[in-house]
Amino acid sequence: MSIDDRLARFLAGADRTFRWNDGETRDSYEAVETTRDGLRWYHWSHRAEDGGPSDEALQCYDDFERDGPLREMPAPLLAELRAHLARRGTSKAEN
């Protein structure tokens, strides 16, 4: 997928990134991003020594429906993710 395709999907609201951290660490967070191919899970750091994404994994939407999230995430954010997937037609269940 080209950068132009990804930008078009982002502007159309099809893809979204959900981020959270432990409330104490300000320079890194966990994230899940909706993509055309599935959910992209990763850790993001702003620190110079280990900056950028790490611990990346791609989970297909059917696996998410069957098994739940690959990583622990706050319940309200998980509900928001499920609602987003339902709105875009990726998820069978809204909650």
Q: Dump pLDDT digits (tens) for 11-33.
A: 766 788 999 987 777 788 899 99
Residue 27 lies in a domain: yes
Check pLDDT > 50 for residue 94.
no
For 36-81, how does the pLDDT look when each residue is reduced to its tens digit (9 = 90+)? 889 999 988 877 677 777 889 999 999 999 999 999 999 999 999 9
**C-alpha distances in angstroms, 70 versus 13, 27, 48, 53, 60?**
23, 22, 27, 16, 11
Residue 82 lies in a domain: yes
Residue 95 lies in a domain: no
- Which structural domain range is residue 73 located in? 3-87
Residue 93 lies in a domain: no
User: How many structural domains compose the chain?
Assistant: 1
Q: Which residues contact 9 (CB under 8 A, 6 or more apart)?
A: 15, 36
pLDDT score of 52: 75
Residue 80 lies in a domain: yes
Residue 69 lies in a domain: yes
CA distance 95 to 78: 9
Q: Which residues contact 22 (CB under 8 A, 6 or more apart)?
A: none
Residue 56 lies in a domain: yes
Question: Reduced to 3 states, what is the DSSP secondary structure of residue 92?
Answer: coil
